[in-house]
A = this chain, B = another copy of it.
């Protein structure tokens, strides 16, 4: 084994929150093991935070706490950015890169917005940027994509990458709760933030989708390229209808490299209760990868939380420490393909549409005609579902009509739904869910 009598690798942590303090714990508690695995000591040289008096982590030497974040970026070999958000995180990461430090980050929003800029800056400066924890928390997903599958062609990825929405949908399913009730419950238990917008509107999942598409297809994909639909319009009736058909509703992040180009989308979808993703509960994440030679792969684990995320962060720190010890760098993020982005309207899917109608003879025929006129083939119809108090615009005279289509393109489907909604016996806002094959 390599001797450990060399100069230590200096690690600077930006942020002393949940993930930051757990990362510090692993670095301190496992110092000897990490040194043995790296071949050189790894030393925590500073922890930058806004208010050192509020840091509650007994394993962090108080002398390491600092408010001089930019200064820490200058004196570390590896800067670990755990601040989150776009600014000042972006500035500090660029400062670190310019100073010749490598960067480890768990910041999905930063990478989804400025990833290609940062990857290029690191490449040009000859340093590395690692971000295993930015997608799927503890799940090794970024490294397999960057390295294990480098000799293969990934065609699609699909998964559950947001634990908060997964928890809320679970609660709605198992307890029959309304969305608002389930959300309040999740907030009370600490599974959802006080401002839950980023999770429930799908933005967090969209950030991860952008990072996945960039890595999988070697094509810069930003959050602005992702079509996003959250779960705020999912009602208890949607869930009840799904349950009746032995399906569950899950918020999916889907990236594909199809004939029309690269697409990245986040939407709630109906999946069969026997599908492996149906049994992914609570804060767990799971991602399917389809590659030409490897075929189907799935990765499953904790998508969030201090210790699990810190596990991924420390794995990156050790990998980078080895590179520094050897004077080399890891793989860059090659974006040479620069594939076109597929228009969302061109995407094909099967849909489940739920209309609220005033029932009378001829209603189904009229609706079916609108579908037929536009070439949208109907797979099934269900008129047994009773509307509940959950439905906006409910009155005793109303019924639900649920139509599941075969594969059709999204633009045509939306035009069809619009036409149906203009029929005089259709009322309220229809619910539209994709159905996973």
Contacts and interface: CB of A to CB of B under 8 A. Distances in A.
A149 interface: yes
Interface stretch (A135-143, A356-364, A412-420): A135-143
Contacts of A149: 140, 311, 315
A57 B279 CA distance: 42
Nearest to A299: B299
A284 to B, nearest CB: 8
Interface in A195-247: 218
Copies in the complex: 2
Interface in A273-315: 274, 276, 279, 284, 286, 291-302, 305, 307-308, 310-315
A36 interface: yes
Contacts of A26: 151-152, 293
Interface string A22-41: 10001100100110110100
Given A143-B147, A144-B144, A293-B26, A315 B152 contact: yes
Nearest to A330: B322
A130 to B, nearest CB: 10
A308 B334 contact: no
A230 B252 CA distance: 39
A377 B314 CA distance: 43
Contacts of A138: 291, 293-295, 297
Nearest to A276: B279
Nearest to A23: B151
B302 A294 contact: yes
A373 B150 CA distance: 59
Nearest to A300: B298
A328 B331 contact: no
A319 interface: yes
A311 B323 CA distance: 25
Across the A-B interface, the 8 shortest Cβ-Cβ residue pairs = A151-B314, A328-B328, A140-B148, A140-B144, A293-B311, A138-B294, A294-B311, A298-B300
6 contacts: A36-B336, A138-B294, A150-B314, A151-B315, A151-B318, A293-B310
